[in-house]
Amino acid sequence: MPGQKNTIYIKNLSEKVRHEELKKSLYAIFSQFGTILDIVVSKTVKMQGRAFIVFKEVESAVNAFKAKQGFEVFEKPMRIEYAKTDSDVILKQKRPHLEKPKKTRTPSTRDDDIPKRMKKETHRLPGGPTAEEPPNHILFLANLPDETSDLMLSMLFKQYAGFKEVRMVPNRPDIAFVEYENPLQAGTAKDALQGFKITPTNATKISFAKK
């Protein structure tokens, strides 16, 4: 399809959120669609409330585009388009033998919180012939990065039916509890979000909370 690109251009993002937090949140939302090569949140006035998410595969960008159109982040629905030009990372990838003509960029000044490459998470579907009722309606999250906020988590988990609330634990930024109305709904969210990353280094481990 014409117009489809590796990079999606997002507008109508909140201008009140620090761009590092915005970036983490976008990473958390979009990493499920495939390898993210870069996220650019520019700080110039003209570019406020806009971001570019660069996927390794066009297909990932297409799925993200469809799935998250209008999805609310920090109270505002994202407006997603395809970028009109390819990102530098993509150009580099397409013509590896060519040097960039002008825009040079030193590795030391690059953001280092987006991985060079990232394995796509494969989520196993629940059930099988012997599916049984999950043991709890509360999920236990572990291996969260320090900067995780309850807002980021609720953004992700409220996408699934029956969501009630997120509870962070004082002095334990790495864990959290997420409550659903019933165990089945908790199980759906668990399977959908298993291994999601808020930062490239931390794949979240989701299990049912112990009773």
Partner DNA sequence: AGCACA
Q: Are 153 and 141 in contact (CB under 8 A)?
A: yes
Among 14, 21, 49, 159, binds DNA (CB under 7 A): 49
CB of 134 to DNA, least distance (A): 41
Q: Are 195 and 179 in contact (CB under 8 A)?
A: no
Here's the x/- map for DNA, 85-104, by CB under 7 A: it reads as xxxxx-------------x-
Q: Are 71 and 37 in contact (CB under 8 A)?
A: no
Site for DNA in 111-170 (CB under 7 A): 111
Binding segment for DNA among 21-29, 78-86, 121-129, 186-194 (CB under 7 A)? 78-86
Pairing status of strand 138-142 against strand 205-208: antiparallel
How big is the site for DNA, counted in residues (CB under 7 A)?
30
Among 24, 27, 28, 38, binds DNA (CB under 7 A): 38
Residues in the chain: 211
Tokens 């988990």 -> residue: 157
Asked if 69 is part of the footprint of DNA (rule: CB under 7 A), the reply reads no
User: Which of residues 54 and 141 has its CB atom nearest to DNA in the complex?
Assistant: 54
CB of 37 to DNA, least distance (A): 9
User: Which of residues 101 and 128 has its CB atom nearest to DNA in the complex?
Assistant: 101
Query: Which residues have CB under 8 Å from 91's CB, separation 6+?
Result: 100
Among 81, 165, 174, 191, binds DNA (CB under 7 A): 81
User: Which of residues 41 and 139 has its CB atom nearest to DNA in the complex?
Assistant: 41
**CA pair distance 2, 62, nearest whole angstrom:** 12
Of 118, 100, 105, 96, which Cα lies nearest the Cα of 27? 118
Asked if 60 is part of the footprint of DNA (rule: CB under 7 A), the reply reads no
Q: Which two tokens stand for residue 123?
A: 């989520």
How far lies 169's CA from each of 46, 115, 141, 176, 177, in Å? 38, 28, 11, 6, 8
Among 14, 19, 35, 50, binds DNA (CB under 7 A): 50
Q: Are 34 and 55 in contact (CB under 8 A)?
A: yes
Asked if 70 is part of the footprint of DNA (rule: CB under 7 A), the reply reads no
User: Which of residues 45 and 98 has its CB atom nearest to DNA in the complex?
Assistant: 45
The footprint of DNA (CB under 7 A) covers 7, 9, 11-12, 38, 40, 42, 44-50, 52, 54, 81-89, 103, 105, 109-111
